[in-house]
Amino acid sequence: GNSVTQMEGPVTLSEEAFLTINCTYTATGYPSLFWYVQYPGEGLQLLLKATKADDKGSNKGFEATYRKETTSFHLEKGSVQVSDSAVYFCALTGGAGGSYIPTFGRGTSLIVHP
Amino acid sequence: NAGVTQTPKFQVLKTGQSMTLQCAQDMNHNSMYWYRQDPGMGLRLIYYSASEGTTDKGEVPNGYNVSRLNKREFSLRLESAAPSQTSVYFCASTGLAGVETQYFGPGTRLLVL
């Protein structure tokens, strides 16, 4: 079945540092890939997505590229802010089986200090 | 456009009590989901409804039941609450299951004593 593996946290950075959160997946076919963000006390919300190989999703300074050859969808941001402190979830849907059920990683907590 | 709404926001139950968590979406989505979120466990799917009139078990369905009341509403029922059901519960919906973005509600924080 499908699976998503993302780096464990917490990731602790100083403001303006470069961020990478690794995400790799296992799925057949061509799933859609997502990054969701969860701020304290809230539900998850979409950060960015990519639906085919080599697509780059981007939003709010965050980027991730769908790499079919390495089955990866790493999240990056050039300069983080305190307001980026949150939990980030990598996820996938679809693929060859056309599953109705999204597969989520366990989440990576990001803490940004001033 | 409220998106996905959940009630209640917080609830404290005693072991053995029952309750229903309500979820509604106003985006005309076909598919709806119930998850629970526990520290270190990520999101775990309890039940889902791929379309109106259908429901299926997810990863952790024991102790729960669901009803897809209509296209908008999907409720989760705990018949006899247990301390192990203390968690944060999220409802989500999507327009085209397996392809599109999931939209999440704000969550219900449940404590079972």
Report the distance separating Cα B73 and Cα B52, nearest Å. 9
Contact residues, chain B to chain A, C-beta under 8 Å: 4, 31, 33, 40-43, 45, 48, 50, 58, 90, 92, 97-107
d(CA B100, CA A85): 26
HSE-CB for B106 with a 13 A CA cutoff? 9
Contact in structure between B37 and A106 (CB atoms under 8 Å): no
pLDDT in tens, B16-74: 999 999 999 999 999 999 999 998 788 999 999 988 889 999 999 999 999 998 999 99
B56's tokens? 């299926």
Best of B100, B103, B109 to substitute, by most chain A Cβ atoms within 10 angstroms, is B100
Q: What is the chain A residue with the closest CA to B91?
A: A43
- By C-alpha distance, the chain A residue nearest B101 is A46
List, run by run, the mean pLDDT of 10-residue segments along chain A (114 residues): 90 97 92 95 95 95 96 97 97 76 93 96
> What is the spatial distance between Cα B54 and Cα B39, in angstroms, rounded to a whole number?
30
Q: Which residue of A has its CA nearest to B47?
A: A101
Q: Tokens for B71? A: 């296209």
Looking at residue A60, what DSSP letter applies? Answer: T
Query: Which pLDDT score is estimated for A96?
Result: 67
CA B90 to chain centre: 5
pLDDT in tens, B73-108: 999 999 999 999 999 999 999 987 667 899 999 999
Chain A residues in contact with B43 by the CB 8 A cut-off are 44, 89, 104, 107
Per DSSP, the residues of B50-106 read SSTT--EE-S--TTEEEEE-SSSBEEEEESS--GGG-EEEEEEEESSTTTSPPEE--
